Structures are given as structure tokens and as C-alpha cells.
Structure 1
Amino acid sequence: MGAEERESARERSRVHGASAVRRGAPERPRVRLDQPRAPRRTLWPEYDPEAFGRLSEKIARFLGTGRFIVWMTVIIILWIIWNVGAPSGWRFDEYPFIFLTLMLSLQASYAAPLILLAQNRQDDRDRVTHEQDRKQNERSIADTEYLTREIAALRLGLGEVATRDWIRSELADIMKELELRQMVDAESDERDR
């Protein structure tokens, strides 16, 4: 073993412990807490839940339309007509229509969960909308209470402010007093003469 190799082994043993170097274990990268872990590989297929939810809502909306009922009725009628009226070699589902029953059951077994998923997503949207409406109502109530207090304060303040009518009545009273004084002064001047 050369000097460089010994120095490298000492450094590894200092960092990772002497036992890891002796066993020949590979170096493990240090775990960093400030960075997210790399995603693990799984056997399960990965999918985007939002995209799947949007697709299920589109399907559920289509299942709830008259167009779907009409198309389903037309397909079932054509299925029955073909399997009753077609030559026996071309028929793929004889009279008890077992395959048709299987297809309708399969369609129903997929439709029910898709509709439930769409309803759950709608419930989540409704819950968020309800929460936003509640917060908006709370803000509106707080604003209304604030404005009510401000108007009450203005009314109290206006009770102490001289209004136009009050000033007019005061001026009219002063004019009457002046006229009375002039009359009294005029009478006293006439007596003095």
C-alpha cells in the first residue's frame, strides 16, 4: 500500500469510521437536511391526481346528460337487433345477451366511482368557496360595524357643531335685540330732547 492510499484510508476512516474502511464498504453520501430526498422508484404506476380528477369530472358530467342516455339506448338497441337479426355466424352475443349484461355491469362499476370522485372534488370546491364566503362575510360585518361606529361618532360630533339653522336663529335673535335697542335708544333720545 502506497503513502497516498494509506492517507486516503485514514481520511475515510476518520470521516466514516474505521470499521467501514476495514470491511471495504462503499462510501455513503452524507444526508443533507436542507435538500429534498430523491424520489424512490416504486412498482405502482404514477399518475397526476389532478388530471385524473378532471377527467373523472368530465366523464361524470357526460354520464349525467341526456346525450349519454340517447347514445346508450341506441347502442343497446343496435346490439340487440344485430344479435337477433344477423346471420348466426355473425352473432357475437346470443339471446340471453350475457355479454351485453357484462358490458352494462362493467360500465356501471366504473361509472359509480367516477361519479363519487367527481362529487368529492365538487364538495372540496364547495368547502373552499364556503370558507371564502364566510371570511368575506366576516370582513363585511366588521366593515359595517366600523362604519356604524364612525357614523355614530359623526352624529355625536354634529350635535356640538353649529348648524345653518341654529346660526340663522341666533342671527335673527340678535337682529331683534338690535332693533329693540334702537327703539329704546330712539325713545330715550326723544325724551332727552
Structure 2
Amino acid sequence: MSEPGRKLDTPSTRRTISFNLDSDVVGMYSERVARFLGTGRYLAIQTVVVIVWIALNLVAVSIRWDPYPFILLNLAFSTQAAYAAPLILLAQNRQENRDRVSLEEDRLRSAQTKADTEFLARELAAVRLAVGDTVTRDYLRKELDDLLDELTERLGATADDEPSGGPGTRDRTR
């Protein structure tokens, strides 16, 4: 049964120790470790440590801490792998998230660039149409020359049709 004085509708208060770890800080350090584990420097250091480990355990009989099957060395490698694999996966997940954000930004930037290009193409087409409707100097000169030729022809034809008295004179004898 329940303790006297304790209400069943209220949860019990248990104090637990909680760790407040910032996931970004943990992720940042895990990426550093994962980057280090993938370098040639790390492989060189690990190779030297393994060679020294094996040499000391084979040659120095008095200080053998891990005889021939090297079980402690295998345990060390297993422990390293147990921690390295999750750290590498965490780093890959964080990189995947960054790549996803970068891809989304690239997609938005590409869409904006396409919209800007289409707008500029429409503006350029409008300018070309406006320039096409604009009278150029050569076009105006040709039109004026044609008009002058036409006026000259009309004046020449009118001068031939008028009586010898010239324009504006009338026969008043009627």
C-alpha cells in the first residue's frame, strides 16, 4: 500500500543526477577526435606504440605485462574501436546535417539566381522592343530624303500643271 500522507495523484520526487551536456560541444570534440583518428599522424603514432608494445613484451622478459597472445593489446584495440566508431558516426551525422543545410541554401540561391536571370531576360527583351521602336538617325535621314524627293516631285508636277502666269494668278477676264 502507499505511505500515509502521500497523495496518489502527485508524482514522487526522486532526485537524479543529470548531466547538462551541450550537444554541439560534444559534437565538436567528437569531430576533432574523428578527424585525428583519420590522419596519417595517428596511424604512425599507433604503429610505433604497437611495435614498442610487442617488442617490450617479447624481449624484456622481466617486465612482461602482456605475454605473447597480447590479450591486453587486443583489449586496448577493442576499447579504442568501441569509442572511435560512435565518435566517427556522430561526426558523419553532423557533417550530413551541415551538407543538408548547405544543399538547401544552394537550392534557394539557385532559385533566386534563376528568378533574377528570368527577370533580366524580360527586361532585356523590353529594352530591345523599346529600342526597336525608337527612330534611329539613319532611319530618320532616309525618311526625310524620301519626303524631300516626294515634295520635289510634287512641286515639279504642280509647276508643270499651272498656267504660265505662275501660281496664284487667275484669269479675271471672264
How far, CA to CA, are the matches of 1:186 and 1:81 in structure 2? 127
Deviates more, 1:58-67 or 1:165-174: 165-174
- Alignment counterpart, residue 85 of structure 2, candidates 112, 118, 130: 112
Alignment partner, residue 91 of structure 1: 64
What is the CA distance between 1:169 and its match in structure 2? Answer: 1.5
How far, CA to CA, are the matches of 2:137 and 2:41 in structure 1? 73
- Alignment counterpart, residue 136 of structure 1, candidates 109, 112, 117: 109
Encode CA deviations 1:126-170: one digit per residue, 9 max, x unaligned. 000011111111111111111122222222333322123321221
Shift in CA distance, 42/134, structure 1 to aligned 2, threshold 3 Å: farther
Deviates more, 1:120-129 or 1:152-161: 152-161
| 1:43 and 2:10 correspond | no
How far, CA to CA, are the matches of 1:75 and 1:182 in structure 2? 113
Query: How many aligned positions are there?
Result: 151
What is the CA distance between 1:100 and its match in structure 2? Answer: 0.2
Alignment partner, residue 19 of structure 1: none
How far, CA to CA, are the matches of 1:107 and 1:154 in structure 2? 68
> What fraction of aligned residue pairs are identical, expressed as a percent?
50
One-letter code of the match for 2:17?
Answer: L
One-letter code of the match for 1:46?
Answer: N
How far, CA to CA, are the matches of 1:112 and 1:128 in structure 2? 24
Q: Secondary structure at the match of 1:156?
A: helix
Alignment partner, residue 80 of structure 1: 54
How far, CA to CA, are the matches of 1:114 and 1:147 in structure 2? 49
How far, CA to CA, are the matches of 2:139 and 2:75 in structure 1? 92
Runs of 4+ in 1 over 4 A off after TM superposition: 178-189
What is the CA distance between 1:171 and its match in structure 2? Answer: 2.5
How far, CA to CA, are the matches of 1:86 and 1:75 in structure 2? 16
How far, CA to CA, are the matches of 1:71 and 1:175 in structure 2? 97
Encode CA deviations 1:115-135: one digit per residue, 9 max, x unaligned. 000000000000000111111
One-letter code of the match for 1:106?
Answer: T
Alignment partner, residue 168 of structure 1: 141
Deviates more, 1:143-152 or 1:73-82: 143-152
Encode CA deviations 1:49-77: one digit per residue, 9 max, x unaligned. 11111111111111111111111111100
Q: What's the Cα RMSD here?
A: 2.4
Give the structure-1-normalised TM-score. 0.69
| 1:158 and 2:131 correspond | yes
How far, CA to CA, are the matches of 1:165 and 1:129 in structure 2? 54
One-letter code of the match for 2:58?
Answer: V
Q: Secondary structure at the match of 2:44?
A: helix
Q: Secondary structure at the match of 2:61?
A: coil
